[in-house]
Amino acid sequence: MSEQKSAVPTKDTLFKKPLSRMEAKNAVTDTAAKSIIQRERAAVDAKTERLRAARLAREQSK
């Protein structure tokens, strides 16, 4: 028979270990970078949509 791990919650399974100083710094940098990338992606998508609409309007007016 195989042993099953008990589903009893312990401090190790309930709580995450605190991040080290470098891990915390990396997490902050990662969050900031992802935020910047997301804003830039939204700006590119908005520009693409605006240009697509202008192109379609120009093609319809011909």
Q: Are 32 and 40 in contact (CB under 8 A)?
A: no
Cα 17 → chain centroid: 22
The tens digit of pLDDT for each residue in 3-56 reads 556 678 887 778 888 889 999 999 999 999 999 999 999 999 999 999 999 999
Task: Report how many domains make up the chain.
Answer: 1
| Token pair of 6 as six digits | 């008990």
Q: Which of the pair, 8 or 57, is modelled with greater confidence? A: 57
Q: Is the pTM of this model over 0.85?
A: no
Write phi, then psi, for 2 (nearest 5 degrees).
Answer: -95, 145
| DSSP-derived secondary structure letter, 19 | P
Residue 1 has pLDDT above 50, yes or no: no
Q: 25 is in which domain, residue-wise?
A: 19-61
Q: Let me know if residue 48 belongs to a domain.
A: yes
